[in-house]
Amino acid sequence: MYNKFMAMYGSHTGSEVFFMVRGNYFNPKTVGCIRNNIERYDWGKAIAKEAIDKANILVGYGKSYWWTLPTPNDLARSATPGHINSGCPVCGDENFLKHSNRGWINHIVGNQWKVQCKNCNNIFPSNDFKSYYQSGLDQRGIFQRNLADPAYLVNTMYPDKDPNYFVDDGYGYVDETGNRWSFIAYYNHYGLWANWDDDGIDGGLILSGAKKLSEAYVYAGDIIYAQYCLLLLYKVALIYPEMDLNVYMRLPGRPYRNTDGFSLQGKATGRICESILARNLCMAADAVMPVLRTHKEAVESFFKEFALVSTQEIEETIVDGFLRQVFIGVQNGSIGGNEGMYQSALAIAAVCMGECEESKKWLDWLFADGELVVTRDPVRVRIEHKTGGNLFSILHNKVNGDGFGNECSPTYNRIWLVELSRIADILSKYPGMEGSEYDLNEHPKMKKMYRSYPAIIMDQDYIPKNGDTGKTGNPMKVFTEGFAQKILLNGYKATGDKSILKYYNICYPESKSGQFGFLELEDPQGTADLLQRVYYEELLNDKSHNQTDYGDAFLRQSVPAGCNIHMYYGRTKGHGHMDKMNFEIIANKLNCTPDLGYPEHAEQFPKRYEWTSHTISHNTVTVNESAQNQTECAGNPLGFEDDEIVKYIEVDDPSVYDQTDVYHRAVCMIETSSGKAYFVDLFRVSGGDTHEISFHGGEGTVDINGVDLVSQSKGTLQGEDVAFGERKERKSVMFDYALGRGNGYHYLYDVQKSENTVDHTELTYRLTDTWSQRVGLKGQPYLKAIFLTETHRTVIAKGEPPVNKIGNPPYLYYYLGKRKGSNLKSNFVSVYEPYIDQSDIQSVEKVPFLGMEDEFVAVCVKVLLTDGTTDYLFHSTDDNMKLRTSNGLAFKGRLGFVRFKGDKVLHAFMSNAVHIKVNQHVILNSKTPCIKGQVTDLQRLSDPMNFIELQLNEDNMQKSVESLKGKYIYIDGDQPGNACFEIRDIKPVANGSFRIMIDETPIRGYKNGINRKDGFIYRFNEGAAFSIPLSNSFDSTFEGSLT
């Protein structure tokens, strides 16, 4: 590809690298568009004013401030003040309980080298580190520890304490418990180099300062902002090549916490945050470096107080000391992060360099298939080398058919979309990219990524809280920042998919009135008109949907504030929780059964692994009192339906436990009226000696009926002598991988339990509107949960959501129903109903089948509603078994449902079934419950148009294949994951075969992992058997008595 670039664009000699025309991202067309929007629109003026006002504050700090601001590697950096306790050394946990991870104020005005606790207002360190730092500055304004005066390393703030009290020399203060408090390292990271708020100016001033000063120059054209930004970039470039966080991260016990992903790599910050720092500094360089050419004398005069350098020397220093260091850093792993993050940093470095042989080499590396080579080192512990940026490999091997990366968490997958879209946007400014192989927006997987998020929205406001995502039960828009508007609009431009615009209107309702949050918009009024037209069309996601490759099924009512449920059966690796088959019920504007969400810290702390991400804290089943295995692929869907009344998902994945051969959940949503529904849950597990179903509702109180519970006086479910969070086997405050996750019982407290066998337990949660979503709506929300399976122990206890996520409920009530036995088989049958004020359910029971005592294979659930309606739901894992009840109902097949009012059938539905009968009278009948056949061909290339060709076994289906649109095909695959697809269209082709169109690619990835030249492997292959379950339903006037 490198030679192809040379042929396409020609080449420049090395001498032409310097004084090339910079401003390639912020080129004249882009800058003209930005300034036009500032001139014409109030929202543009507001964006510009905010940036310029901040830049004016920064300019007011003076040149000396910025010249001495960047710190060398001689001073440590840390993302938290305490390496064990993330609270405060004085007020303890109150700090992060009230303020989460934002509990500290950095005194950056005047660069005071002080941090202040937001809770108790104490200031640290106690010594005058500012004077210590200034005493150590050499003639270039760079800190040298050997020059610094140790007289400043004494407590001057707390005279009643000893001289060493909270003194920090840059390496931290170690208290009497052995905890290191790294006040200066924290200040150095979040006060000076980078914090996560790159739009503010109250910290991370090297990053945010460069960003705001360069933005102000682009918006206003005043070179004073460019001069200050160039001064900062030049000073950073003097020290950046020597920045190496490994010096601190390799120390025993990780005394400094950083976003390194446990790789021990980074430069100014941990390598994940470093990619953000590098990208922003490159973007700033692109914006201001044209001034080196247009205002040569003014820049040299501005610099002469600190350095007698020419503009060419300034440019050479920034190019050598920073831009080129980005390429070195992404290769050696010191600049890294989630997929797309380090690649976007290198992309903007290349664009900033301009069109030359060197930048083209970087771009070729970005797309090249490469590998990560890791070697052990006696000093550095770990040395990395990447041989390619793998952008094509990432799209083919790691982005699944539904457009998500290999993360469970929607918010972490958001990073993939944001960064890959950012790369596409950046590279569009490099000559010749549009329409080339490197034009990411033309890649089928990129188009799929743009379309991924609208598909997972429930009731306009909620996303699934899979893995480390958000807070406990809060609604989330995912996209809220102004720059993300550009991503969604670019996604619509690339795909033409209106669902993206509908989702845009949910995230940014002001835009349809002409208010936007980013300035590089070429036609604001035309965009507003387009959004306005889409706004008045149908709701986003009014139908159920199964994302089979990501592994999440959504059952929806097509009304606002109605009932919805999603069941996650995807990978549990990658910021995941051990919660395959977990579900959340979204109803009446609340998340009624919320996942706990993001842990206190995504670090190696026990609570994260032993509770927040443990199976026991989720609405699923644990086996042998242990957490599920981590899995890398979605489970195997077995059925999915979206009937008017009955909606259904069924999945199996026994790989989640080594002991199980069945781990199988079927969930049905049964509509009772518009906006109202209940759920029937059938969870089968085979293998192991204990099965324990765990369930919790949202914040609120709970009433329990059907079991007499005894309160435990103290301790946790692990024992009265075991305190909350305590694990006696644990030898360290950190999570012990060798010890494992345990059973999670030590995080369940205020325990009530019964050791008696029960077979009917009913809970009623009186739900609190934790996140104020029902403002203006009448009535009290409740959630009823009825458990119909015999259990040998029942527990009600409190479980704690992450405590440092502001707004999280203090606790949730958990129900645990435990079964015991050798090589156990269980079918946990449960019914859930969210409702307002009054339940629609009068009673629930299981109806036995004649001549059959085993409930594992087949079950019938009877639900009597308060209006006199009676529902019967059948489910069997043996499609050929004939089932009869004592009151005259008969069923054969997978799923069946019939609703009576008196003796009248109101509705009947069946999927993959032969018949439903009442006293020998046929209500529903099907000669072909399921179409079967073989795959004869498939789309073997990466293409937006994906197809499968089929040979059907059923001759009688030739004339009714159109009815298969919207159905799902289940193909026997021979690769990890499943081969299940929604049929979008079907047409006859030659030789009596049919071609179905699908929305997901059949490609699983590269054949050999990283080299696309060897071709692809597929989710299934030619000759594979398939099945397409069919459904039948009707509203009937049949009347006949049940015996």
Q: Quick: pLDDT tens for 694-730.
A: 999 999 999 999 999 999 999 999 999 999 999 988 8
Predicted confidence band of residue 321 (pLDDT cuts 50, 70, 90) = very high
Distance of alpha carbon 783 from alpha carbon 703, whole angstroms = 11
Distance of alpha carbon 429 from alpha carbon 703, whole angstroms = 61
Side chain identity, residue 546 = N
* Domain membership flag for residue 154: no
The stretch 304-314 carries a mean pLDDT of: 96
* Domain membership flag for residue 188: no
Predicted confidence band of residue 13 (pLDDT cuts 50, 70, 90) = very low
* Domain membership flag for residue 947: yes
The stretch 246-274 carries a mean pLDDT of: 93
Check whether 328 has a pLDDT greater than 60: yes
* Domain membership flag for residue 440: yes
798, 820, 839: which is the final residue of a domain? Answer: 839
Side chain identity, residue 912 = N
Are residues 287 and 359 both part of a single domain?
A: yes
Are residues 895 and 751 both part of a single domain?
A: no
Radius of gyration of the chain (CA): 31
Closest of 630, 588, 594 to residue 609, by C-alpha? 630
Separation of CA 35 from chain center: 35
Domain count, the chain: 5
* Domain membership flag for residue 1041: no
Are residues 918 and 956 both part of a single domain?
A: no
Are residues 353 and 263 both part of a single domain?
A: yes
Domain residues for the domain of 943 are 930-1033
* Predicted confidence (pLDDT) per residue in 578-630, tens digit: 999 999 999 999 999 999 999 998 878 899 999 999 999 999 999 999 999 99
Check whether 124 has a pLDDT greater than 50: yes
> Domain of 1029: which CATH number?
2.40.30.10
> Domain of 794: which CATH number?
2.70.98.70
Helix ranges (DSSP H) in 305-409: 311-318, 324-332, 341-353, 357-367, 391-393
Q: Is 356 helix (H, G, I), strand (E, B) or coil?
A: coil
Predicted confidence band of residue 395 (pLDDT cuts 50, 70, 90) = very high
784, 806, 839: which is the final residue of a domain? Answer: 839
Are residues 510 and 562 both part of a single domain?
A: no
* Domain membership flag for residue 407: no
Are residues 960 and 902 both part of a single domain?
A: no
Predicted confidence band of residue 55 (pLDDT cuts 50, 70, 90) = very high
462, 486, 521: which is the final residue of a domain? Answer: 521
What is the percentage of the chain residues whose pLDDT exceeds 70? Answer: 96
Are residues 872 and 750 both part of a single domain?
A: no
* Domain membership flag for residue 688: yes
Cα-based distances in Å from 74 to 250, 562, 683: 15, 58, 57
The stretch 281-295 carries a mean pLDDT of: 96
Check whether 16 has a pLDDT greater than 70: no
Min mean pLDDT across 832-841, 987-996, 1028-1037 is at 1028-1037
Average pLDDT, the chain: 93
Sheet of strand 825-836, all strands in order from the earlier edge strand to the far edge: 636-642, 646-652, 662-673, 676-686, 825-836, 781-787, 761-767, 700-705
Name the E strands within 432-561.
Answer: 545-547, 552-556
Taking the CA atoms of residue 990, residue 942, residue 502 and residue 406 in that order, the dihedral angle to the nearest 10 degrees is: 130
* Predicted confidence (pLDDT) per residue in 85-96, tens digit: 678 999 988 887
* Predicted confidence (pLDDT) per residue in 490-530, tens digit: 999 999 999 999 999 999 999 999 999 999 999 999 999 99
Check whether 151 has a pLDDT greater than 80: yes
Distance from the first to the final alpha carbon of the chain: 76
Q: What pLDDT shows up at residue 21?
A: 46
Are residues 714 and 765 both part of a single domain?
A: yes
Predicted confidence band of residue 991 (pLDDT cuts 50, 70, 90) = confident
Predicted confidence band of residue 956 (pLDDT cuts 50, 70, 90) = low
Which DSSP letter does residue 569 get? -
Are residues 250 and 285 both part of a single domain?
A: yes
* Predicted confidence (pLDDT) per residue in 199-230, tens digit: 788 899 999 999 999 999 999 999 999 999 99
Q: In this structure, which long-range contacts are made by residues 133-138, counting pairs with CB atoms below 8 Å and at least 24 apart in sequence?
A: 134/68, 137/68
Are residues 339 and 230 both part of a single domain?
A: yes
* Domain membership flag for residue 530: no
Q: The tokens of 719 are what?
A: 């024992």
Are residues 963 and 922 both part of a single domain?
A: no
Are residues 634 and 783 both part of a single domain?
A: yes
Between 678 and 541, residue with greater pLDDT? 678
Distance of alpha carbon 288 from alpha carbon 424, whole angstroms = 22
Q: What pLDDT shows up at residue 394?
A: 96
Predicted confidence band of residue 1035 (pLDDT cuts 50, 70, 90) = confident
- For 691-713, give the DSSP string: EEEEEE-SSEEEEEESS--EE--
DSSP run (H or E) holding 283: helix 271-288
Quick check: 100 and 265 in contact, CB under 8 A? no
